[in-house]
Amino acid sequence: MLAARAPTGIGMLGVALAFGLTVVTMAYAVGHISGGHFNPAVTLGLWLGRRTPGRDVLPYAVAQVVAAVAAAAVLLVVAEGRPGYRPGVTDHRAPAGLGPLAIGLALTLIHLISIPVTNTSVNPARSTGPAVLMGGRALAQLWLFWLAPLLRAALAGVAYRHITGETGAEPVAAEGQDVADAPVRDGEKIKA
């Protein structure tokens, strides 16, 4: 992991904060459009928790993987120019507007705990991007970087339904948003 290497790297804390705060930023920036689906495991868990329609699971996963490969390609181009480089959602009862912060900080904590153990990737799409570009061992190990997060998300989605009794009928992207001041187009409110 290039960014964490001492003495000039940002360290494990920096990497964990980078992942967590990136999710916070993106969830606030585009979460209202997609429900903050950046991770196929999260999408699977939301579907099994009946919080997102089944018809969206495959298109979301494909978009997440394509975006991850594109992002990894951009990072590869940037990192290759560096000397010494070597390739190597929330419940509706949660306080409105704090979902992305809770998710991002939870991701930060996950990375702080597990970077020393596995170098951590809890997003299968994010794992796929670099693995496709690196090939070899990275591709050979990719199955586990899909299986583990998907199993955890499946367990969480099913457990959520049974613990809360929720049907997941309301759309995820509209939760926690105040639509009273929603934009108006042609005299009619734009639906969330």
- Which bin fits 191, alpha (ψ -120 to 50), beta or left (φ > 0)? beta
**Given this model, what pLDDT does residue 27 score?**
78
Evaluated on CA atoms 60, 62, 63, 67, the torsion sign reads: positive
**Given this model, what pLDDT does residue 140 score?**
93
**Given this model, what pLDDT does residue 192 score?**
41
**Given this model, what pLDDT does residue 106 score?**
75
**Given this model, what pLDDT does residue 12 score?**
78
**How far apart, in whole angstroms, are the C-alpha atoms of residue 167 and residue 119?**
36
**How far apart, in whole angstroms, are the C-alpha atoms of residue 101 and residue 105?**
6
Nearest one of 157, 150, 172 to 46, comparing CA atoms: 157
- Superfamily covering domain 2-173: Glycerol uptake facilitator protein. (1.20.1080.10)
Q: What is the pLDDT along the chain (192 residues), one digit of tens a residue?
A: 455 554 556 677 777 787 788 887 777 767 777 777 888 888 988 898 888 899 999 999 998 889 888 877 877 776 676 666 555 455 666 556 666 777 777 777 777 766 666 677 888 888 898 899 889 998 999 998 899 888 988 887 888 777 777 665 555 444 444 445 544 445 554 444
Evaluated on CA atoms 13, 19, 24, 25, the torsion sign reads: positive
Domain boundaries, the chain: 2-173
Nearest one of 191, 190, 170, 192 to 93, comparing CA atoms: 170
